Amino acid sequence: MPEFVRSIPDGDTRERLLCPLCGHVEYENPKLVVGSVVVHDSRVLLCRRAIPPRRGFWTLPAGFLEMGETAEEGARREAEEEAGAEIALDGVLGLYSISRIGQVQVIFRARFAEPERRRLFAPGPESLEVRLFDWEEIPWADIAFPSVCWALTEWRRTGSGPLGQPGRSPPAEAPGIAPCVELPEGAL
């Protein structure tokens, strides 16, 4: 099998991976991440990561969309896998384009599908623990990714009211994967 080379294909403007024998173009596209801010009794569900990257840090139930599933199906699957939670989606809370790592994240606002169930959530294989947090209890210094802060801040802004335009990535997002550098207003 031949090695792919980087070159600009005829009719294109970007360098791509090309097969020098047959001319096949191998496109490298961003990955789509789906997840949700699950809210119950004014508290938010967070998962402590059991896997890298950022093992031991808190995040939303979220992950990569799989082939053959819708964004909504993927968000529900991630909540089940990471938090043992069956959820109902209210709509898109945030849409975050993170070009430096090649991701687009679609984060929904959600609630437990059957809130009367005795056990609403439990850690899955990718979570050390899962917990509901009041806004004042969120462990901001131990949040895994900046986009989690953005989504939580958007949830705080919209509350349980109607969802309008989804939240967006800050214009000057900090490079690298780091915890929340600037805590959202009223976080402490």
User: What's CA 50's distance to the chain center, in Å?
Assistant: 16
pTM score, whole prediction: 0.86
Range list of H helices, the chain: 71-83, 146-158
d(CA 18, CA 62): 33
pLDDT digits (tens, 9 = 90+) for 95-119: 999 998 999 999 999 999 998 888 8
Neighbouring C-alpha atoms within 13 Å toward the C-beta of 145: 24
Q: Exposed (0-12), middle (13-18) or buried (19+): which is 126, by Cβ within 10 Å? A: middle
Per-10-residue mean pLDDT for the chain, 188 residues long?
Answer: 87 92 90 97 97 97 98 98 97 94 96 90 97 97 96 94 89 53 49
Domain boundaries, the chain: 31-161
Fold of 31-161: Nucleoside Triphosphate Pyrophosphohydrolase (3.90.79)
Q: Give the per-residue pLDDT at 82.
A: 97
Give the N- to C-terminal CA distance of the chain in Å, as an integer: 57
d(CA 72, CA 94): 13
56, 127 in Cβ contact below 8 A?
A: no
